[in-house]
Chains A and B, each alone.
Chain A
């Protein structure tokens, strides 16, 4: 019975799905380096940089994401800065996403023993060199699982963009539901598509975790073989 309806609105839902994928990818591409930068600022030992990053992270973790989207969409024009709905959504979601991501990244960085920093310093390595060659290679396997959990949360949070007039998956599904008075086929289809994205990310997470633990075992074995 609903096949005809789904066929009629299928292209719109597909377009929404592509918009959701695009929005998620752009937000992750912006929020990941910004989050890493914030985490490094907080771990840098420079009081001003650390305080600035702490204030940013605390403020944006205390307020609802939707409120930040309202700032970028409704309040910025007050200063003559006007974004398209998509631009406002990208900006707002990246601001929130980077605050949460920086906490996940910082957790991984602080899991590395402080002695490693001191040892690198004693060897005469600079801060950048220490980070790139000593700390990050050890921290990334620790960061990866919480990073993907956060990526799934960010994908789900892109549905907020529908409230500021972005025609994403949620927006298209709700539009079709309210035109046809048939909420079930569209909202359930949208739900299944979101589940497909988070399911794929979860599979990737399991694969990456398996690979990282495998690599660690291989590295350990090589080290032991070298020692004997």
Chain B
């Protein structure tokens, strides 16, 4: 069968809509999972051993089970307990839930890189814990955590394709919807792959710039 990319002039509005949903889904998950990830990281260093071990167990479960299964869980199980949500919010909840624990690992190793003496020094200076976190600890954590954070962000972007399985009209599912009617899966999937590659490359460009920024930050920090 000959390839005919002119089909794209017909189906592009559907792919564009799918791309917008993919971007919205990625940004929503990042906006929810990032602060949750910081909380998970802080909780795993907390004084309460029940909180520490509870979070460690939850982290092991959420990172040990396939993300797709967690999406199905939100899609099928939430309505049974009375939480009836449209596909998009339920996908956002499921993806944020497991990404919070992946990000938790990223931020935990970042937080561990800040010496504990700084918390005590800030306490001695009369700073509140929240103030210490926001002004002293997190700014030092960022350079170390940024590169792994962005590589996880690209996983979020690629992971949004899973939402196709629970009826979210994102890019992969939009592509499928148009190729089952046009019988041109190859051309349409190539176009979708190119869109993912562009979005991913934008994030990787951010990572490259972030790494240079982090290297500068580390270089100028007095020893």
Contact surface of A with B, Cβ cutoff 8 Å? 59, 62-67, 70-71, 74-75, 78-80, 152, 156-160, 162-163, 170, 173-174, 177-178, 181-184, 187, 190-191, 194-195, 198-199
A182 to B67, CA, bound (A): 20
B165 touching A163 by the CB < 8 A rule? yes
In the complex, which residues of chain A have a beta carbon less than 8 angstroms from the beta carbon of B183?
Answer: 78
Residue B128, interface by CB 8 Å: no
Instruction: Report yes or no: A156 in contact with B67, Cβ–Cβ below 8 A.
Output: yes
> What is the CB-to-nearest-CB distance from B61 to chain A, in angstroms, rounded to a whole number?
7
Cα A41 to Cα B211 with chains together (Å): 27
Question: Are A183 and B68 in contact, with the CB atoms below 8 A?
Answer: no
- Which residue numbers of B lie inside 8 Å of A, CB to CB? 1, 60-61, 64-69, 72-73, 76-77, 80, 158-162, 164-165, 172, 175-176, 179, 183-186, 189, 192-193, 196-197, 200-201
Q: Are B158 and A163 in contact (CB under 8 A)?
A: no
**By the criterion CB–CB under 8 Å, are A75 and B196 in contact?**
no
Q: B175 contacts which chain A residues (CB < 8 A)?
A: 67, 70
Nearest 6 A/B pairs, CB to CB? A64-B161, A159-B66, A183-B76, A75-B186, A75-B185, A156-B66
Cβ A66 vs Cβ B172 within 8 A: yes
CB-contact partner of B69 in A59, A78, A173, A182, under 8 A: A173
Closest to A79 in B: B1
Task: Using A75-B186, A78-B184, A191-B61 as known contacts, say yes or no to A65 and B76 having CB atoms under 8 A apart.
Answer: no
Could you tell me if B189 and A70 are in contact, using CB atoms closer than 8 angstroms?
yes
Looking at the complex, which one of A64, A184, A199 makes contact with B196 (CB distance below 8 Å)?
A: A64
* Inter-subunit contact A62/B201 (CB<8 Å): yes
Q: For A80, what are the chain B residues with a Cβ–Cβ distance below 8 Å? A: 1
**B77 lies within 8 A of A59 (CB):** no
Give the interface SS of chain A, mostly helix, strand, loop or mixed: helix
Q: Which residues of the other chain, B, contact A177 by a CB distance below 8 angstroms?
A: 72, 76
Would A74 and B68 be within 8 Å (CB), given that A59-B197, A187-B76 are in contact? no
Number of A-B contacts (CB under 8 A): 112
Q: List 16 contacting pairs A-B, 8 Å CB cutoff, sorted by A.
A: A62-B201, A63-B158, A63-B196, A63-B197, A64-B160, A66-B161, A74-B185, A75-B185, A79-B1, A156-B65, A158-B66, A159-B69, A183-B73, A187-B72, A191-B65, A194-B69
Q: Is the CB of A75 within 8 A of B189?
A: yes
A63: chain B residues within 8 A (beta carbon): 158, 193, 196-197, 200
Closest Cβ neighbor of A20 among chain B residues: B66
Q: How far is the CB of B153 from chain A (nearest CB, A)?
A: 13
A186 to B197, CA, bound (A): 36
**Which B residue sits closest to A157, measured CB to CB?**
B66
Docked complex Cα distance between A65 and B201 (Å): 16
Q: Is the CB of A62 within 8 A of B196?
A: yes
In whole Å, how far is A145's beta carbon from the nearest beta carbon of chain B?
A: 15
A sample of 19 more A-B contacts (CB under 8 A), given A74-B176, A74-B185, A78-B185, is: A62-B200, A63-B158, A63-B196, A64-B158, A64-B196, A71-B185, A78-B186, A156-B65, A157-B66, A159-B68, A160-B68, A160-B162, A163-B165, A174-B72, A183-B73, A183-B77, A183-B80, A187-B77, A195-B61
Residues of chain A within 8 A (CB-CB) of B185 are 70-71, 74-75, 78
Q: How far is the CB of B46 from chain A (nearest CB, A)?
A: 24
CA distance in complex: A138, B179 (Å)? 49
* The residue from B1, B61, B165, B197 contacting A62, defined by CB atoms under 8 A apart: B197
Interfacial chain B residues near A190, Cβ < 8 Å: 69
Q: How far is it, in angstroms, between the C-alpha of A174 and the C-alpha of B68 when the chains are bound? A: 11
- Known contacts: A63-B197, A78-B185. The answer to whether A163 contacts B164 by CB under 8 A is yes
With A62-B201, A163-B164, A174-B76 as known contacts, state yes or no: A71 contacts B189, CB within 8 Å.
Answer: yes
Docked Cα-Cα span, A179 to B159, in Å, equals: 27
How far, in Å, is B82 (CB) from chain A's closest CB?
Answer: 13
Interfacial chain B residues near A66, Cβ < 8 Å: 161-162, 164-165, 172
